[in-house]
Each structure stands twice: as structure tokens, then as C-alpha cells.
Amino acid sequence: MTQETPFKTGFIAVVGRPNVGKSTLTNALIGSKISIVSRKAQTTRHRIHGVLTRDREQFVFVDTPGFQTRHGGAMNRMMNRVVTQALADVDVVLHVVEAGKWSVGDDNIVPLLPSSKKCILVISKVDTLKNKNEMFDFVGKIMSKFSYDAVVPLSAVKKIQLDTLLDEISRRLPEGEPMFEEDALTDRSIRFIAAELIREKIFRLVGDELPYACTVVIEKWEEDESGAHISACVVVERESHKPILLGAKGMHMKRIASEARQDIRELLDKPVFLEVYIKVRKGWSDKESALRDLGYE
């Protein structure tokens, strides 16, 4: 490749039903853990821009929330709106489906894929397939029904075929100058990432007991020579969620704060004093205005 090769840059949206591996894939591609990963649905509520710059290309990834087809609450309507908006201003859409598991959720996504955009079908988690022939049958069935610009089977966990996917995306990116600095990981603020790290700990520790309706708001952020002094508030929907989050003798909360503090310390590379407390905001996940107050679009 010569210097005359034009630089390419563009936005890539990653869509798919919950749990198919969108966050894991985006993280594997950009090589840094920005978006949180969890086995629970609805863990990625924000649009995240992860940036990967190669020799002559810049990929700007938009990680989108899972389409929610089962529930009709304000939260899900809002999440689908975020996805639709994300698709309207990207260059390439990756529709991620789990190997061997096409479902009605995937059928519902296909009509939402914009016909004017390049669309790549990504078959995730191929490492979970015992038999390679299963893959051919699976892809054959999908392609006989729907048309995609390319198909890439891969494994984000085992790092199989990630470069192939980047090459396929690159072929479809428009020419243009880089939009971000070389080392940019995200256009989200460091505070947002800190809040995400706290949320990740909550999901890991009490995700099975606590419904999805819980968010983290950074209320104070002060940095001086001694380090960063941060107060974070976990907003839960019901009074009954509080003891779950606290755990016996507040042990859960202590662990969440301590693990999050270590991650944020690593992120900032300075001492971190983190205070995490809980607020109950009744029914917030079903009130769009309340969501807006908390920073959701």
C-alpha cells in the first residue's frame, strides 16, 4: 500500500438482538475495554464510539443497545429510537447474529436495516459450533432469504477472523480524512467510562437478582494532587432494590465500590477516592422525561 492510497474513514453501527456479542466484538476490534460486557440483556444503553485507526483507515464504531421486542416500555421504545438514529448516519452496518441461533428477534431487525447502507452479516461465537457444516447450512438458509453485502463468521473471544471483518468494512468505507486523534479510544468522557465501570460491577455481582432498571450518575468529580475524589449515585427503581444492592452488612456495595475504584484508578493512573451511594427513583425506567434527566437521549 502506498501513501497515494486515499485515506478512508467512516461510521460503523453494530446492531443485533441482546446477548449476541456486540460489545465483545466492538471491544475486540478496538482493542480496549470501553463498553461493558455482561450476560444480561440491555447492558449497553448508550451509544459508544470506539475508534480504531489502521494504516490508511479509521473505523468509528457505534455500539448500539439490543433491540427489545418483548417489552413495550418507554425504555425500550427509547432504545429502539437510539438504534434507528444510529443507523441513519453511519456508513456500514454490522448485523451480528449468533452462530446457529437465528431467531424471530433477528427477523424483526432485518426490516430496520437501512437499504441505502452497506450491511455486513456477522456470525458471532463460531467457536461454540461443534461442526463446521452447521455453519454452511446456517449461512445458506439466511442468504436464501435476505441479502447482505458480505458475510463474516468470526469469534471475538478467540480472535478468529477479526481482520477479515475489518477488511470487509474497509472496502465499504468512504474516502475521508481521520476524524479522531490516533490514540482516541472513545469520544465519551472519562466520567462516563467511570460510571460504566461501576455499572459493570453491579451487573456482575447482583445482575441475577436486580432487574435492569438501575443506572449510575457521577455527582461529584474533583481532581487535585492527592488524586480524584468521586461521588457516584446508583439510581434504582424501587425501595426493595436497595437491600439487594447493599447486600448483608453492605458487603455488596463495598465490593462494587472497591472493584470499581481499582479500575478507575488504573484508568486515571492516580489515587481514587470513590464514594458510591444509592437513591431510589420510583418508576424511572418507564418515564422518558426521567430518563432524559439522567442523561439518556
Chain residues binding ligand GTP by CB under 6 A are 16, 18-24, 37-39, 41-44, 66, 124-125, 127-128, 155-157
Residue 66, annotated ligand binder?
yes
Please tell me the distance from the alpha carbon of residue 235 to that of residue 193, in angstroms, as a whole number: 17
Minimum CB separation from ligand GTP for residue 267, in Å? 20
Residue 159, annotated ligand binder?
no
Residue 126, annotated ligand binder?
yes
Minimum CB separation from ligand GTP for residue 80, in Å? 12
Minimum CB separation from ligand GTP for residue 293, in Å? 23
Residue 39 or 282: which CB sits closer to ligand GTP? 39
Contacts of 115 (CB under 8 A, 6+ apart): none
Handedness of CA 283, 104, 202, 79 (dihedral sign): negative
Residue 43 or 285: which CB sits closer to ligand GTP? 43
Residue 234, annotated ligand binder?
no
Minimum CB separation from ligand GTP for residue 61, in Å? 12
8 Å CB contact between 238 and 244: no
Which contacts of 280-283 are long-range, i.e. CB under 8 A and separated by 24 or more positions? 280/235, 280/236, 280/237, 280/238, 280/239, 280/241, 280/242, 281/235, 281/236, 281/237, 282/237, 282/238, 283/237
Residue 32 or 38: which CB sits closer to ligand GTP? 38
Residue 72, annotated ligand binder?
no
Minimum CB separation from ligand GTP for residue 176, in Å? 28
Residue 188, annotated ligand binder?
no
Residue 60 or 230: which CB sits closer to ligand GTP? 60
Residue 31, annotated ligand binder?
no
Phi, psi torsion values for 182, nearest 5 degrees = -45, -45
Phi, psi torsion values for 37, nearest 5 degrees = -120, 130
Say if strands 48-53 and 8-15 run parallel, antiparallel, or are unpaired: unpaired
Q: Please give the distance of CA 61 from its chain centroid, rounded to a whole number.
A: 10
Residue 38 or 231: which CB sits closer to ligand GTP? 38
Q: Annotated binding site: which residue ranges?
A: 16-23, 63-67, 124-127
Q: Annotated binding site for GTP: which residue ranges?
A: 16-23, 63-67, 124-127
